[in-house]
A and B are shown apart, each in its own frame.
Chain A
Amino acid sequence: MTTEGESSGFAIHPMDQFVIKPLFGGTEIYWYTVTNVTLWMAIAVLCIAGLLVLGTRRRAIIPSRTQSVAEMIYGFIYNMVEEVTGHDGVKYFPYVMTLFLFILFANLLGLVPTSFTTTSHVAVTVTLALMVFLGVTILGFIRNGIGFLSMFWVSSAPLAVRPILAVIEVISYFVRPVSHSIRLAGNLMAGHAVIKVIAGFASLAVVSPVVVGAVTAIYGLELLVAVVQAYVFTILTCVYLRDAVGGAHH
């Protein structure tokens, strides 16, 4: 990037894939500008609609393959919500399902070559995590009133230790959205950047077979990461939701 000649010879720009560009020309990005973010989020919506709406349109007792996948995801998330948050948490199942599906499809679509990974952006994951954090906090106060604060007062610990624990609990509570969001964005960004860096070495003919093998292996790993991170984000959402729904007791 310093001179034109260097970049044509051996160019590795692992972060280029994360650049946000307006789709229809222009240079400024306003909040309403249609960008590649818009495009790939829309594709995610279409995929979700295809799987869960189109795939189940026949409402078959004996499901087709697509319907059976949709039912499997439904059952998986439903059971997760019910097991982690208890029976009261089931009414927040559509919200958890929305988060899971969006993250899962954004992650998987990000693995399509030359695509754009919306969940690799901290802005997106921070928004998602804050939605969970604020939602859980507000819900906790609505359901438990001021008693929600007793979550920070560990009644099973000796009285002398409780203030210290309370401070730790409060800090950990506010750190939640940070770890919740950075974990997802960090995992995806790192994985995609690594693939790009290694792929950049393919221009050296000597190492290119090794590079192809390495990229294939990391791609497989990234597929796993894409699904596991969607799962992790969702189950943490359920765990946080339990604090609000299940009262202050752990």
Chain B
Amino acid sequence: MVTEATKATGQGGEAVGMPQLDFSTWPNQIFWLLVTVVVIYLLLTRIALPRIGAVLADRKGAITNDLAAAEELKQKALKAEKAYNEALAQARADAAKIVAEARAGIQKDLDAALAKADAQIAAKSAESEGRITEIREGALAAVTEVAKDTAREIVAALGGKADARSVAAAVTARMKG
């Protein structure tokens, strides 16, 4: 029974026991295994492995290069930023200097103008002072003259014959008092 069934395995029938231990199939399996392994080995060594190895190396190179380039660009950016900051600081300093200069210049002009104006004002006021004094003196003289004339006329109107000189002397005395 068992031997019959074992023969039947070759015909694609049911297995009895373990087909693994049916040694009649071993040469077949070993032959095809060797063929398979050799084919896979050739596929790998001729095509696949060199190709994948090259791709991995390429990628590693590309990544290294990119990192180096990035580092370089970063340094450049830092340098540019530094230059920018320096230029900015320089511009600020220049601006401050120009402002200070302009302020000093304006102050100087202003001082000069003020001094000139002060001088003019002083001159004008001195002149005015003179005129006022003159006018006051003129007015005083006129008052004396008017007083003398008025006194003479009053005396004449009162019917007295007034001596002009004595009237003048009396008015002058009065005015002084």
Q: Which residues of B contact A33 (CB under 8 A)?
A: 28
Instruction: Among A21, A22, A52, A118, point to the contact of B33 (Cβ < 8 A).
Output: A118
Instruction: Among B24, B37, B41, point to the contact of A29 (Cβ < 8 A).
Output: B24
Tell me if B70 is interfacial: C-beta within 8 Å of chain A. no
Contact (Cβ within 8 A) B28 A56: no
Give the docked Cα–Cα distance between A171 and B30 (Å): 26
Instruction: Among A16, A20, A123, point to the contact of B30 (Cβ < 8 A).
Output: A123
Query: How close is B36's CB to chain A, nearest CB, in angstroms?
Result: 4
Contact (Cβ within 8 A) A94 B10: no
Q: Which residues of A contact B14 (CB under 8 A)?
A: 1, 13, 16, 19
CB-based A-B contact count at 8 angstroms:
148
Contact (Cβ within 8 A) B28 A121: no
Q: Mark A126-158, 1 if CB is under 8 A from B, else 0.
A: 011001000000000000000000000000000
Stretch at the interface among B48-56, B106-114, B137-145, B157-165: B48-56
Contact (Cβ within 8 A) B55 A59: yes
Sampled A-B contacts (25; CB under 8 Å): A1-B5, A13-B14, A19-B13, A19-B14, A27-B10, A31-B30, A32-B28, A41-B32, A44-B36, A45-B43, A48-B43, A49-B43, A52-B49, A56-B51, A70-B52, A71-B55, A74-B49, A74-B52, A74-B53, A94-B45, A102-B36, A102-B40, A118-B29, A128-B37, A189-B20
* 8 Å CB interface, B54-81 against A: 54-56, 58-59, 62
Query: How close is A199's CB to chain B, nearest CB, in angstroms?
Result: 16
Tell me if A179 is interfacial: C-beta within 8 Å of chain B. no
Contact (Cβ within 8 A) A29 B10: yes
Tell me if B26 is interfacial: C-beta within 8 Å of chain A. yes
Interface majority SS (helix, strand, loop, mixed), chain B: helix
Contact (Cβ within 8 A) B40 A124: no
Give the docked Cα–Cα distance between A27 and B35 (Å): 23
A31 to B, closest residue via Cβ: B27
Query: How close is A76's CB to chain B, nearest CB, in angstroms?
Result: 12
Q: Which residues of A contact B11 (CB under 8 A)?
A: 27
Tell me if A30 is interfacial: C-beta within 8 Å of chain B. yes
Give the docked Cα–Cα distance between A97 and B18 (Å): 30
B residues in contact (CB < 8 Å) with A = 5, 9-22, 24-37, 39-41, 43-45, 47-49, 51-56, 58-59, 62
- Given A45-B43, A53-B48, answer yes or no on A124-B56 (Cβ-Cβ < 8 Å): no
Q: Which residues of B contact A120 (CB under 8 A)?
A: 20
* 8 Å CB interface, A43-96 against B: 44-45, 48-49, 52-53, 56, 59-61, 63, 67, 70-71, 74-75, 93-95
Q: Which residues of B contact A20 (CB under 8 A)?
A: 9, 19, 22, 25, 28-29
Instruction: Among A38, A98, A189, point to the contact of B32 (Cβ < 8 A).
Output: A38
Give the docked Cα–Cα distance between A84 and B140 (Å): 135
Contact (Cβ within 8 A) A45 B30: no
Instruction: Among B15, B18, B25, B48, point to the contact of A13 (Cβ < 8 A).
Output: B15
Instruction: Among A16, A45, A60, point to the contact of B36 (Cβ < 8 A).
Output: A45
Query: How close is B64's CB to chain A, nearest CB, in angstroms?
Result: 13
- Given A45-B40, A94-B49, answer yes or no on A16-B29 (Cβ-Cβ < 8 Å): no
Query: How close is A165's CB to chain B, nearest CB, in angstroms?
Result: 35
Instruction: Among B21, B22, B43, B54, point to the contact of A53 (Cβ < 8 A).
Output: B43
B19 to A, closest residue via Cβ: A18
Query: How close is A138's CB to chain B, nearest CB, in angstroms?
Result: 17
Give the docked Cα–Cα distance between A49 and B172 (Å): 148
Query: How close is A192's CB to chain B, nearest CB, in angstroms?
Result: 11
- Given A123-B26, A123-B30, answer yes or no on A19-B12 (Cβ-Cβ < 8 Å): yes
